[in-house]
Structure 1
């Protein structure tokens, strides 16, 4: 039986026996961990499921942080885990605002390999020929760090890339050599990824990154550097500023000397007025683009569709530093319709009901109901027990007996200046409506974030937008009428409570859009990376409260617009 058949068979078996596998996973976790210092207080050595659900509390990060820090500082793993902790994963910190550390060992990396093989098989089933070519994968790593006790602490992708599992996993399927992936300078790494991808353009069947934002960043980087990249291809030499020696040597080998014809071909495409479809023009055999496009990443869907000539945009799986959740078994669905099928062998999952008549009720994976929304709890093999993720999910269906979930939003309210509670989902919906107004004026929204400005009376919402013209190298001309209409459309799209405070009571001021210079969000990313964020896992914060970060944005503002009418009730 082929590997492909074997992996798809695993999918059928896992999803058909979800309840039994979930019970087995919990029993396995409790048998190993019941006598840890953390669990012993609640279970007294038992691994009974009913006792677990009755006695073990639902927790947030702040509840378990002291235990995680004790292990990080050198106490034995059995404070929280019955198995040795070998690594700590560093969360991106861009969703909740602060970076968190989570303990893992090699079992986690085995799960990464398993889920990726499953992803590849599912996509191969739907798209012919994807296993025959190469993936232009934008992975970057960051300089290594460690806990006080010497345990490595890195973002998920950096940790995985540095593990023994990576070499087998990569197996020459990427356009970039390992030396580029392991380069800790983000700019050098990005340049070399693009150079290798352009030289091997005929072999590229997919472009991929962890998040959609990284793919957009790669294209905007290409817009800035294509002339230099062409010069490198013409001369057969890598630019002098690429100073990472192993990276430079490995890329030089791929470059393989001068190629005038290829340099001319790339230049002919990049010099054209519009960059619409540039991905398919430069990589003629590309079949898909892969990267998370759900949640706050959905804002990048229109940009990627513009650059890719509406290639299939695949959001392959749902994962975090805490656990891997599941895969997208329908990869060719519209990116706006993505649901993830939970894999019952990854962790033990429970769900807190947050709508309907049973608010607060906790149910097992197989007992969720279609159409209902839940907050997911995770119990994993490495020291998290009934841990609140803060992700709100809606059940869209079942694949065999395994439920499928649409990512709705993060639990926390994003914006508020009165008693209103504007969520990530509210903002993204409003943003999509405003993007249509920009589109009609030949403009694209390249990045956004927001903040609550309570220095004014009444307080008001501020949206920071980076805008670009559809035509390459065109100067962005902002039409006051178009921009004010965008402000009004956003307000009109927000919920009834916001509109009531704004229109009926006058206790929220007019919404403001501050347009920032091009490259501002790259500067923001560089600042966050300098503070410890990972380039591969970076997500632009959807809302910013930090005075230092707001100062960076406000320094780059070149135009301000306000809604000029009250939203309808």
Structure 2
């Protein structure tokens, strides 16, 4: 296997699948070759020379152990000074023998601030290879993708020029502006309804409008729809809800709205729009003007075979609303990637969202894994910490394992050594091994390590919050409401502090938010609390160190405004993920300004331990002697499981 990644004709499905079989079968050997290549190139960089002098000529298992013994496992704060030095004009060979040609910025929605990751020209080739490997996998499961187009809603973010002159931009912006994307071969997987000019339009509103307009005009050719993340796709649906009348007017008269002022974007869309089309405008108007938008995707784009969006991790909460709009279409998550590196592919793209696992491609980087302990089926609190220092989250680095040595059912934190200057870098993702494809492990994305809520000794991670909110929203769905977005923060201004969860709801029919039942919403608060882990429940019920959880319902469009705020602060539309733990005071104030209803448990809550002591006191026993029904009821209470709670109005 040659490095960098081998090239092949992306239209040759048989060759593509054979290549994937070779990669996964020879995973161990390829991983050693990847590490040897990385170290051979970069052994003389300032970073690596600071830790060891290794003779790479005869790279073997012993050399691998020298690497692991001497080069530390690091996080972003450890490498940030090196990256900033290059951004400020120092040579790339501080960390990379190959010239750093740009910096790739993370979304900044997980950890709070965007990170800058080094990238090289060769890295772009590696990403192109990765995208090409998705093609044979999809063609294996979905027929006739060459007989239509994809309506993928893709966006760019304006770049920031660093003092060195190098650009810093989101990874997808980098790819969409590259020659690899613009000159991509026209195969069945990348013929889009959106002209490149609309994707590259720097004005996200004009870009969204024009891409949707092109998708509507070409509705009969659309075989698949999607965006990178579920959140971006749903934002497009919301945009369509707001602008469908104007879009239909454009189609009816054959003229693009005057406020579309980007010249290249306008010209490209005008060519596709063509002449006036009264029938198409009436058809779309009829579908969009109905009482409900349930199944709207299938109604507007009837030939669509699937929706391609990432619905793992924090995106999982969008599954119900996507299913509402989809009309039964499969939700396909094809890939697992980040600003640091592109990692793996879903080899079974038509599986249920809950079953999505990614097979890591061993030629993309050198992969290692820090074991994350589990206790009673739950990740232990030690490994759910929210700090940036290793002291906050202790791992025994002697236990770090290689790609092919992970164990089925075990959880790990991902560590990568890349071709672009990251060495033993902790990505911050927690993964669980679900199986193997040949010799390459498959992983389920559990959650981001550093996204949690905490008041006392409680540490609620992203997955815990998602599960709790999922349980609670079941109470409002029979009333005709869908939860479209949520986020939370730990309010420590109150005494004791408490969790605040913001909900944005959508009505399935004609009912509105003013019809929300207070008792039901209080039950939602209770359901969230009951679904959180035992540490939270102990702090809440026994120690009384956490106050009652509060749900604040916000008006329609609030989370769009939150996204706009994040984008204005440097996030990217493509990579934006609603943060499940809000820390920005400005963002909290924005959400609070949109609140239309506040709900918190009104009852006083006592733990069973308190009730038992109270009930067993001599005075209470004497007082209950004359009230047998009450005494029996209390005895029944005392026989409840210790984890239960008695609520007294």
Q: TM-score range by the shorter chain?
A: over 0.9
Give the TM-score of the pair, scaled to structure 2: 0.86
| Structure 2 contact 250–256 (Cα < 8 Å) conserved | yes
Q: For residue 39 of structure 2, what is the aligned residue in structure 1? A: 30
What aligned pairs does 1:237-256 form with structure 2 within 5 A after superposition?
237-256=255-274
SS in structure 2 at match of 1:374? strand
Q: Between Structure 1 and Structure 2, whose CA radius of gyration is higher?
A: 2
| Structure 2 contact 160–169 (Cα < 8 Å) conserved | yes
What aligned pairs does 1:53-132 form with structure 2 within 5 A after superposition?
53-132=68-147
| Structure 1 contact 136–208 (Cα < 8 Å) conserved | yes
CA distance in 2 between counterparts of 1:510 and 1:447 reads: 21
CA distance in 2 between counterparts of 1:476 and 1:331 reads: 40
Does residue 524 in structure 1 map to residue 539 in structure 2? no
Q: Deviations over 1:130-178 (max 9, x none)?
A: 2321111111112222111111211011111111111123747110101
CA distance in 1 between counterparts of 2:492 and 2:55 reads: 52
CA distance in 2 between counterparts of 1:309 and 1:285 reads: 12
Q: For residue 416 of structure 1, what is the aligned residue in structure 2? A: 454
Q: For residue 636 of structure 2, what is the aligned residue in structure 1? A: none
1:292 offset after TM fit, Å? Answer: 1.0
Q: For residue 628 of structure 2, what is the aligned residue in structure 1? A: none
1:492 offset after TM fit, Å? Answer: 0.8
1:473 offset after TM fit, Å? Answer: 8.9
CA distance in 1 between counterparts of 2:601 and 2:530 reads: 10
Does residue 46 in structure 1 map to residue 61 in structure 2? no
Q: For residue 19 of structure 2, what is the aligned residue in structure 1? A: 10
Task: Could you list the structure 1 runs, at least 4 aligned residues long, displaced by more than 6 angstroms after superposition.
Answer: none
Does residue 444 in structure 1 map to residue 482 in structure 2? yes
User: Where does the alignment leave 5 or more consecutive residues of structure 1 unmatched?
Assistant: none
User: Where does the alignment leave 5 or more consecutive residues of structure 2 unmatched?
Assistant: 1-8, 57-62, 376-394, 606-642
SS in structure 2 at match of 1:42? coil
CA distance in 1 between counterparts of 2:414 and 2:423 reads: 12
| Structure 1 contact 378–388 (Cα < 8 Å) conserved | yes
CA distance in 1 between counterparts of 2:586 and 2:98 reads: 41
| Structure 1 contact 467–476 (Cα < 8 Å) conserved | no
CA distance in 2 between counterparts of 1:112 and 1:268 reads: 42
Q: For residue 241 of structure 2, what is the aligned residue in structure 1? A: 223
SS in structure 1 at match of 2:275? coil
SS in structure 1 at match of 2:257? coil
From 212, 217, 220, the counterpart of 1:194? 212
1:49 offset after TM fit, Å? Answer: 1.7
CA distance in 1 between counterparts of 2:128 and 2:487 reads: 34
1:64 offset after TM fit, Å? Answer: 0.5
SS in structure 2 at match of 1:466? strand
Q: 1:23 to 1:89 in 2, by over 3 A?
A: same
From 202, 224, 230, the counterpart of 1:212? 230
Q: For residue 138 of structure 1, what is the aligned residue in structure 2? A: 153
Q: For residue 315 of structure 1, what is the aligned residue in structure 2? A: 333
1:540 offset after TM fit, Å? Answer: 1.0
Q: Deviations over 1:295-333 (max 9, x none)?
A: 100010111011001211011100001001100001111
CA distance in 2 between counterparts of 1:297 and 1:169 reads: 28
Does residue 507 in structure 1 map to residue 545 in structure 2? yes
SS in structure 2 at match of 1:446? strand
CA distance in 1 between counterparts of 2:493 and 2:200 reads: 45
What aligned pairs does 1:528-539 form with structure 2 within 5 A after superposition?
528-539=566-577
Query: Aligned-residue CA RMSD in angstroms?
Result: 1.6
> How many residue pairs are counted as aligned between the two chains?
569
Which has the larger displacement, 354-363 or 19-28? 354-363
CA distance in 2 between counterparts of 1:188 and 1:476 reads: 34
1:413 offset after TM fit, Å? Answer: 4.9
Q: Deviations over 1:384-407 (max 9, x none)?
A: 000011111000000000000001
| Structure 2 contact 453–460 (Cα < 8 Å) conserved | yes
CA distance in 1 between counterparts of 2:172 and 2:248 reads: 30
Q: Deviations over 1:353-387 (max 9, x none)?
A: 11169965100000000000000100000110000
CA distance in 1 between counterparts of 2:371 and 2:413 reads: 7
